[in-house]
Each structure stands twice: as C-alpha cells, then as structure tokens.
Amino acid sequence: MSSTDIKKTQSVTELYGSLVFNDRVMRERLPKDIYKAVHKTIMNGTHLELDVANSVAAAMKEWAVELGATHFTHWFQPMTGLTAEKHDSFLSPEPDGTVIMEFSGKELVKGEPDASSFPSGGLRATFEARGYTAWDPSSPAFIKDGTLYIPTAFISYGGEALDKKTPLLRSMEALSNQAVKVLHLLGDADVHHVTTTVGSEQEYFLIDKSMYMKRKDLLFCGRTLLGAPAPKGQEMEDHYFGVLKPKVSAFMHDLDEELWKLGVPAKTKHNEVAPSQHELAPVFETANVAVDHNQLTMEVMKKVADKHGYACLLHEKPFEGINGSGKHNNWSISTDTGINLLDPGKKPAENTRFLVFLMAVITAVDDYADVLRLSVATAGNDHRLGANEAPPAIISIFVGDELAAVLDSIESGSDFQAAGKTQMGVGADVLPHITKDTTDRNRTSPFAFTGNKFEFRMPGSAVSVANANIVLNTAVAQALSDIYEELKDVPEAELADKVQELLKERLTAHKRVIFNGNGYTDEWVEEAARRGLDNLKSLPDAMPRWISDKSVKLFTTHKVLTKEEIFSRYEILLENDSKAVHIEALTMQEMVRKDFVSGLLAYMKDLTEEAAGKKAFLSADACALEESILKKLSEDAKEITEKLAKLTADTKLAEQQTDVLECAKYYESTILKDMEELRTYVDDAESEIPDQYLPYPTYGAMLFSLR
C-alpha cells in the first residue's frame, strides 16, 4: 500500500458517519446516565423520560449546529412509499431582537405534521385528520443539506399506523418475542432479544439527463411507454460486471462518499445485466435501520446522478425488452448474544436450532405465500415479476443441493450422506458446512437460501422494502409460535425426539414450496399449479388475499396491524395502483398525439414531397422506396388512430368505476392492454422514422450513451 492509499483509507474512516448522531457521538456528548438510558431504549425499546429527551435534544442541537445545521425535521415514511419531511428552524427570537438556537425534548420526541394530505385509506374518515410523528431512537438522526433529520414513526391521533415504519417495528418485536420463547425451550436461556437483519441490494439505471428531460413518459411515469427496440439489447451479456465507464465510476465514487457520510454502509457496486444498469449493495443492518438507509440511498442516488448529468431511474421496468430492476432483500435473524439463527452451526445443538428456524421460515413462506407476494405488488413491479428475467410471481424456496439432501434425510429418517462421509441424523452429529452458493444457478428463485440468510428477490427497485420485511417477520413469528405451542409441554428427556418428529412433519406438509430448478420455465408454472402453489399475476389478482380472514388473523394476533389498518392499506394499495396506470394512460395519449404524431407526419410529408419531385423529374418507379415506406407508415397511422381512440375512450370509462378493486382490475385488464396495442403500432412506425424527426430520444440513444 502506498502512502497516498493509506491517507485515503484514513479519510474514509473519518468521513464515515461524520453526519450521523451515532452511538459514538452520544457517548462523547451525553452525561453517562443519560447515555445509558438512551442506549437501553435503543436496545430494548423501553420508554424514554422527558428529562432524558431534553438532555439528548440539547446535545443533538449543539452537535447539529456545529456542523452547520439551522433546521430540524421529523423524517417519516407515509403510505406513498416515499419519505416526507417538514422543516422547522432552531431559531427562537429573543425580546432584544436577537435569536437563540433552541430544540427541546418535546420537539425531538413528538411532531404534529398535518396528516390530511397523506393517504390514509379511510382511517381519516373515522379518526381525526391530524397525525403525529414519534421519534424512533433505534434509527440514528443525521444531517442532510443543513437540516437535522430525525427518523420518526407516523401515527394517527387514534394510534393507527399511517406509515411503514410503525408496523415494521411491531413485526420485529413480534418475531423477537416468539423466537426468544423457542430459543429458551431449546436451551439458549441467555437470549433476551432477537433482531431482524436486512441488507437490500439496489438496482438502478443511469441515463443522460438531457435525454430524460425530453421524455414525458420518464418524467411523469418513471418508465418508457413507447420506444422501438435498439438493434442491440442485452443479448451479448457484455455489461454484467463489466469495466465501469469513467464517468459512471466518478458518479459511483461520489455516491459512496455521500452515503458513507450519512452512515449508510454502501459496500459493493457493479454493472448489471442490462446496458446502463447498475447495482449497489450495502452491508446488512437491523431491519429498521436498513429500510431507512435504503430510502436514503434511493434519494441520494437521484441527487448525485443529477449532479453528474445523469437521471437515475429506479422504476422496476423502465425499458421494454430489457431487464427490469429489483431490490434483493437479504434477511436473517440474530440474537443479542451474537448468533445468526440461520447459520448452520458447528455443534449438534446448533444444528438443531438452525433446522428449527429454517423450518419455521419454510413453513411461514408456504403458509403465507400470498401475502408475501402482495408485499411486493405495485403497478411497476407487476411488469417485472413473471417476465423472463425476474423471479416468477409464484413463491418458492431454493435451498440448494446440500441442504436439500439434509432435508431429505430428515423426512426419510435416514442418515445424511455427504462427500463420502456418513453423517448421522439431526442433533446427533454435525451438519456439513453448507457452502454459500455463489453460482448463478439459483438466480431464478424468488426466495433463496444463501448460506446464512435468505434472499427475497421479488421486491421492486422503486419502493420501500418495509412491506416485505413486515410480512416475512410476522409470518415467521406465527410459525415459531406454533412450534413453541407444540414443544412447550414436552419433558426435557423427550425433547430431541419430539423436535425430530416436528421437523419431519413440517417438511412433509410444506416441501411443496421448495423448488431447486429453473423458475423461469413454463414447466415450473405447470408444476407449481400441480403442487397447489398460487400464481398471483398482478396486484388486483392478489389484493383480496390481503383482507382474507387468515391474513387478518395473522397481523392482528401479533399486533402488527389492526383490522382497520389492514383494510386502509387495502384501499391505499389499490388506489395507488389505479392512479399509476391512469397517469400512464394520459401520458401515453399526450405523447402519441402531440409528440409522436408530429414527427410521423413531418416525415410522411417530406417523403411525399420527395416522391412527388422524383415523379415529376424522373420515372414513376424512381420513388418506389418512398412509396413503400409511406405505405407502411400509413397502415401504422390508421391503426394508431384507432387504438388511440380506444385508449382515450376506455380511460374516460375508468373514471366511472366506483369500487376500488373493480377499478384496479379494469386498469389492469383493459387500459394496460389498450396501451400495449397502441404501443405495438407506434413502435413499428418509430423503427421506420429517422431519429431527427422524433421529438424524443430512442432506446438506442438512451441505453448506449453512457461514457
């Protein structure tokens, strides 16, 4: 390592978290007893007294002002899927015409933004419009653009969750409660708390900003609604892990630094499969912090991209015919004693614990596959799931060959054979070290075991991963609770046998969800249907399951969502879905009518004039080429006229839909289909029209212009 490298390493360690009010800052700046009280609150979620809050607020303000902050904001995550903030300054005028900087414990702990313009899905009709934000001390405050950001939960006056953080925190608690009970039964008496850990890999596209600004579809909808394919797509697979282009590399470098300052542990970056597509993966953190940090990552990505002359596209399917973007949610659970419960251990007792938790996850995923599917359903992600590049809409679990063999031996009661060695049954001997699957063979699975964690690959790139983790945590809490009920009265001497029996019984009941083959094939779709697995293709298809008795029972039992909260989310999700497609339908009409048609007509006019000129001065067949293009374009133009009229009329009819579910179904089955048909002819015509006639950049220009 050269001396300049060493200098750089030091500056990165200094940079990291420099804008975060983290544990180190608190230890330095808070009186010992106050620090201890806050630390306890963070670790165990206990209540914080007002005097403690006052003391923390004072230290926080002092620290923030030293770093140039003038404002503070409660930062929350309403049901829009985005983040929200309302800035207040620290300024407090004095009678003598001066100001002092003030920030009280009350202001830290509680805020009162007007909730009336955020989606509440009916909760507003029954409860007060006002809502309040409550400090979440488990996610550290940070400074961004001269403002102190305080992560908060967003709740109605009646106590209903109006956000994604509240149920996420509740689900983490539910999972911890059930896991601790099971761990105590299995002999891990020293565990008091279990946390969910999450690392979410973020995929995104970068395109030239000036091109982005010329496309209304990208501006309004985040995805292209029109566009003929470029001569080259991703078929050469030459982009995946390819050399970073210099300008892109400069962007990524800047992005890393901005994220590091905010304490976001950005770790790996690389080119993805599609041209202009990239990925960023962080080091995993507690689920709650990981979700906050992913929201920040998306925001910072857009900001830094803009600075570098790019637009960052986070939509799940920005380009037709090119891979979409997802957000792989790596998920595990670990104890306050430092054990990753999904890590196959080195001793027989550890193996048993691992297998019990593994089986709880398998059971949960099979039992609640429909709500898990729903947790990733959005209008954008519906274009991606089930396409040939993303996991199918069918939920299944990949466990890999080694673990599959272990599971087989549990089910058949036989010894496990590995690499020539005979391993005894569960509990009696050590499991083989289950190697991390680094090959590509499991890329088609929506839910894959990857050595010491599961990777849920269905979440879309644009939205918060809170929902996916809420469902996963709660479903696993239920599976663990059932296991506890079955084992709790078993005498200690019989426990090992009973655990074996339980594992076998669970496996027999749920092995249908395990699938190690290629999830992209039609055979799997048929096979999954034979196994009785759901294939819920779209959000409106899946949505009724969200309010099923089973789903309501799950979330209410574990106090993650009340019945009212579940139903309000049902309304919000369906409404958002319809609105998204509605905006797309209007944007497409405008783009075709105003932008595309003007280009089409201009080209046709020039061709006509060209042909007329040739006809006058040369022979009639001198203009055969012009005429053949004109003929094709006229045919397309006729279809475009018809399809555009149909889309326009159908979009008007959509406004008459009153039921939220019927409305979403209508958009799905009628409007999206109309749009697809219209697009076919527009794209066909586009492929004949020279670029200079088109008022917006082509696929080729957008996807292959990064330097």
Number of residues that bind ligand ADP (CB under 6 A): 16
Residue type, 653: L
Nearest to 79 by CA among 183, 165, 146: 165
Which among 323-331, 370-378, 469-477, 488-496 is the span making contact with Mg ion, rule CB under 5 A?
323-331
Euclidean distance between CA atoms 551 and 348, whole angstroms: 36
Q: What does 524 bind: ligand ADP, Mg ion, none (CB cut-off 5 to 8 Å by kind)?
A: none
111 in contact with ligand ADP (CB under 6 A): no
Residue with Cβ nearer ligand ADP (279 or 668): 279
Minimum distance from residue 256 beta carbon to ligand ADP (Å): 14
Cα separation of 320 and 322, whole Å? 6
Contact between 74 and Mg ion per CB under 5 A: no
Quick check: 284 binds ligand ADP (CB under 6 A)? yes
99: its two tokens: 């100001």
Q: Is residue 283 a contact residue for ligand ADP (CB under 6 A)?
A: yes
Structural contact between residues 374 and 542, judged by C-beta atoms closer than 8 angstroms: yes
Rounded least distance, CB 166 to ligand ADP, Å: 22
Q: Per DSSP, what are the bridge partners of residue 144?
A: 147
Cβ closer to ligand ADP: 465 or 633?
A: 465
Question: What is the 3-class SS of 519-530, one letter each residue?
Answer: CCCHHHHHHHHH
Are 328 and 200 within 8 A, CB to CB? yes
What is the rounded CA–CA span in Å between residue 224 and residue 317?
Answer: 8
Per-residue DSSP letter, 245: P
> Which residue's Cβ lies closest to ligand ADP?
199
Q: Which amino acid is at 154?
A: F
Phi, then psi, of 533 in degrees rounded to 5: -85, 145
Residue nearest to Mg ion (CB): 328
CA-wise closest residue to 109 among 171, 56, 170: 56
Residue among 328, 443, 506, 679 that touches Mg ion (CB under 5 A): 328
281 contact, one of Mg ion, ligand ADP, none, CB 5-8 Å limit per kind: ligand ADP
375 binds ligand ADP (CB under 6 A): no
Residue of 281, 513, 572, 611 interacting with ligand ADP (CB under 6 A): 281
In whole angstroms, the minimum distance from the beta carbon of 60 to ligand ADP comes to 28
Binding mask 179-198 for ligand ADP (x = CB under 6 A): ------------------xx
- Region of residue 611 (phi > 0: left; psi between -120 and 50: alpha; otherwise: beta): alpha
Residue 331: which of Mg ion, ligand ADP, none does it interact with, CB under 5 to 8 A by kind?
ligand ADP
| Closest to 362 (Cα-Cα) out of 396, 400, 392 | 396
Binding to ligand ADP in span 310-339, by CB under 6 A: 330-332
Least separation, in Å, of the C-beta of 446 and ligand ADP? 15
Site of tokens 């800035």: 87
- Exposed (0-12), middle (13-18) or buried (19+): which is 195, by Cβ within 10 Å? buried
Number of residues that bind Mg ion (CB under 5 A): 1
Contact flags string 446-475 toward ligand ADP, x per CB under 6 A: ----x-xx----------------------
Partner from Mg ion, ligand ADP, none binding residue 271, C-beta < 5-8 Å depending on class? none
Which of 635, 614, 617, 636 minimizes the C-alpha distance to 625?
614
* The two structure tokens encoding residue 303: 């900001």
CB of 451 to ligand ADP, least distance (A): 7
Question: Which runs of consecutive H residues, i.e. helices, occur in 94-194?
Answer: 105-109, 123-126, 165-185
Nearest distance from C-beta of residue 241 to ligand ADP, angstroms: 12
Residue closer to Mg ion, measured from CB, 61 or 328 = 328
Residues making contact with ligand ADP (CB under 6 A): 197-199, 201, 281-284, 330-332, 340, 436, 450, 452-453
Residues engaged in binding Mg ion (CB under 5 A): 328
